[in-house]
Amino acid sequence: MDNPLDTANPNRKYVLIVYVLQALAFIGLFFLPVMGVIVNYIKLDDVRGSWLESHFRWQIRTFWYALLWTVLASLTLPIFGWLLWAAMSVWYFYRIAKGWIYYADGKEMYR
């Protein structure tokens, strides 16, 4: 396993870029997380077997579950969708914050 605090690892920047792209969804730039998940899939083979792979998997799961809950919230908006939307927003923020903190500390995300 490589050293998590190795700042020379060229793939570290991709993890940070994707966390930033995911976070920018909060200011209405909803297409940026799509770009982030594309980066995840393109670079996934490059990080396989390293501590960064866990962050890539975390980010990919965050994207797909957020998309699922966003669609469900939108479809049920007249009934209780706003509650789903609010809960998903809190969950999404938590996932980005936790991942970013673990990344900054050089920790692997649990799988």
Q: Are 81 and 26 in contact (CB under 8 A)?
A: no
**What is the domain extent for residue 90?**
12-104
Q: Are 62 and 92 in contact (CB under 8 A)?
A: yes
Query: Into how many domains does the chain fold?
Result: 1
Quote the pLDDT of residue 96: 97
Query: Closest Cα to residue 19, out of 74, 95, 79?
Result: 95
Quote the pLDDT of residue 111: 58
Whether 110 maps to a domain, the answer reads: no
Whether 89 maps to a domain, the answer reads: yes
**pLDDT digits (tens), the chain, 111 positions:** 455 556 667 899 999 999 999 999 989 888 999 999 999 999 999 999 999 999 999 999 999 999 999 999 999 988 988 999 999 999 999 999 999 999 999 999 985
Whether 95 maps to a domain, the answer reads: yes
Whether 111 maps to a domain, the answer reads: no
